[in-house]
Copies of this chain bind each other. A is one copy, B any other.
């Protein structure tokens, strides 16, 4: 059969000397200049069809792949974007990273994920590493970004976007923020509207996520509903199942038992529901709950959990778009701040039986 020609085209004709073929190997093989090879590769200059064909044949024959490092060295572009996050094992960050990747890959950019383990020292190292490696842009997600961080990036002349956690005050750089106060407020009003008070708030520990911002959302939700906050029902606990379980157990032993419990994340809520159930309470009949993050586990528990969805994928995409504006669309205007709205996903933990 006549399989010979095409098949042979892809075969490495070069003596295998361990060295990858370079552009000048191709030029020599095709009998043209490196300039010409470069131009058939880039298409930045017309090359006659016959020469093109020759060159392409040589490229195939030698299995030539341009060395991106050398390319970057000249062009000062790496077509790589770094996303720096505190902890890849945390629920939301992988989804954010996917969003970034989804937006970037079609445009020929690679996304490299860097994990700092929530350690500022490692963050600094990573920042040095990515700037030294000359990535085209950096997405800092889930950090309260400091001016020092920004200075490192600016000095290295690499574009960046900050996303994720709401900072006390956003710096003069591009930001993507989930509208968490509104999310908490929605949850609070929803719960109060359906079940009334007393209302408890189980917040996360400060420094381990957006603790304060969610509490303030709760408070404004209460204000909007015209209710006073009972400070005895406001607790800061670890962002964990155990934290929620413990807190609800304590509330149940306390002077005021809440009718509604607004939780700063789903783990707290799920733990809280478990504690309520352990004491023989019905959820939501005796005590209603909302969570935050809309994790999968919330759909798998006996009483499915009403939760705030913050669309981390979309947050990632938004970061990527802001960054692309700067690194490939030439935007160099003032910093932009984009907000991503949340949605309340209502499930059984806040749905009176009659409504089912």
Contacts and interface: CB of A to CB of B under 8 A. Distances in A.
A101 B73 contact: no
A323 interface: no
B132 A65 contact: yes
A178 to B, nearest CB: 18
A103 to B, nearest CB: 13
- Copies in the assembly, this chain: 2
A18 to B, nearest CB: 7
Given A69-B72, A129-B110, A270-B300, A88 B97 contact: yes
Contacts of A173: none
A277 B300 contact: no
A140 to B, nearest CB: 16
A112 B113 contact: yes
Interface string A83-111: 00000110001110110010001000011
A128 B68 CA distance: 11
Interface residues of A, number: 53
Contact of A67 (B111, B122, B134): B134
B80 A88 contact: no
Nearest to A71: B132
Given A89-B94, A98-B88, A73 B69 contact: yes
Contact of A300 (B12, B97, B132, B301): B301
A301 B302 contact: yes
A300 B296 CA distance: 12
A349 to B, nearest CB: 13
A343 interface: no
A117 B111 CA distance: 13
A65 B267 contact: no
Interface of A: 12, 18, 20, 63, 65-70, 72-73, 78, 80, 88-89, 93-95, 97-98, 101, 105, 110-115, 117, 122, 126, 128-129, 131-134, 155-157, 241, 267, 270-271, 274, 277, 296-297, 299-302
